[in-house]
Each structure stands twice: as C-alpha cells, then as structure tokens.
Amino acid sequence: MRQIRPTPPPRTPGQTWGSFLKNHASDIWACDFLQTYDLWFRTLFVFFIIELDSRRVVHFAVTSHPSDVWVAQQLREATPFDTRPWFLIRDNDRKYGTEFQRATNGIEVLRTPIRAPKANAVCERFLGSVRRECLDHVIIFNERHLYRVIKEYVAYFNAARPHQGIAGEVPIPSLNSISESAPSTQITAFPILGGLHHDYRRAA
C-alpha cells in the first residue's frame, strides 16, 4: 500500500526567497532547458531536473522538438513510485503547459519572476557548468550523440565532481571516493568524455 506522505513544510508569510530555499532545499527540485546546436546548426534541447539540497541531477532528456506533452512525460519519468518533491521551481517558458501542470500531481510549482535568473540560481549555475565543462569542448553530431555526451557528464557530475555549494562533497558519494581520513592507497584515474575530465578512485 502507498505510504501516506508527511505534511508539506509551511511557507512562512514574509519569508525571503533566499531563506525559503535554504530552509527547504531538501524538498525542492528545479528544472530548466539548455539550448544547443549540432554540427549542422540544428537546434537541440536538453531538459534537466536537479535537486537543490544535494545538487544531484535527478533526470535529463534530449529532444529537438520539446512540447508540453514531452515535458510532462519527463516529469513523470523523474517521479516514479511517488518519489517527488514538495516544490518544483520553473521559469515561464511556454513549454510548461496544461499537460505539465497535470503531471505535477500534488507538487507545488514555483514560477520564477520574469528576467530574474537568480531565482533559480542552482539550476542556472548547473546549466553554465554543462556549457563550460562539456559542450564548449565537444562537437555534437546529432540528438543521439548529445544524449550520450550528457549522460556521461551527468554521471560524472553526480558521482565524481566536487561542489562548493555542498562543502566540496559530491551529490552521490561513492564507496571508492577519496577522503583525507582514508588510509593511503593507490589512486586510479578514469577518463571522462575522452579525457576532458577524470574520476579519481582508490584501487580495490
């Protein structure tokens, strides 16, 4: 039987946006689109959903024709078995239509003000990282190639890349991750995206 979800955290009247995000980061996801182009200048879109508290990329998908129905399906795939946040931050893009609103199914959607990128700062910072650390160094051939590249970068971002916003930790800690308290053992470097980045792990 489905477990009864706890009462959602209250939104205190008069609370600043920054305080609200800080106090309820573990209950908030944010989503946004990243627009890019392939070798033949065809427009491609990458849709991301990220958890604010851990900086974990919850879900991503790639398409050349984003629509309300497509975005709604991505939200459903990101929330299987009723694993969903209490709040979801999004901008005012027309891609979020009636089908997307139905797919939220109990999630309170927080729309950012127009021309206020700082209202969704964590997600915007992540999109900048994707451009600077990945797409600016790779020539994309088509939609399938973009998906493979983003999939590899997201795996690196979630499990190997340290983040200043979470005290130098990684969103999904690994048993083989390097820590100062661990005994000295051999370190092995695993190339990511053809050597653009590296994941350093302790030898088994």
**158 vs 173 pLDDT, higher one:** 158
Mean predicted confidence (pLDDT) in 84-104: 94
Average pLDDT, the chain: 87
pLDDT of residue 114: 83
Taking residue 88's Cβ as centre, other Cβ atoms within 10 Å add up to 22
Say whether pLDDT at 170 is over 80: yes
pLDDT of residue 105: 87
CATH architecture, range 21-175: 2-Layer Sandwich (3.30)
Q: How far apart are CA 28 and CA 50, in angstroms?
A: 9
pLDDT of residue 144: 97
**Which pair of tokens denotes residue 64?**
């050349």
What's the half-sphere exposure (Cβ side, CA atoms, 13 Å) at 160?
Answer: 17
Say whether pLDDT at 1 is over 50: no
Phi-psi region of 20 (alpha: psi -120 to 50; beta: other; left: phi over 0): alpha
Say whether pLDDT at 45 is over 80: yes
177 pLDDT tier (thresholds 50, 70, 90): low
Which of 82, 95, 22 has its CA nearest to residue 52? 22
**98 vs 182 pLDDT, higher one:** 98
Which of the residue ranges 50-59, 85-94, 129-138, 156-165 would you say has the lowest mean pLDDT?
156-165
Domain boundaries, the chain: 21-175
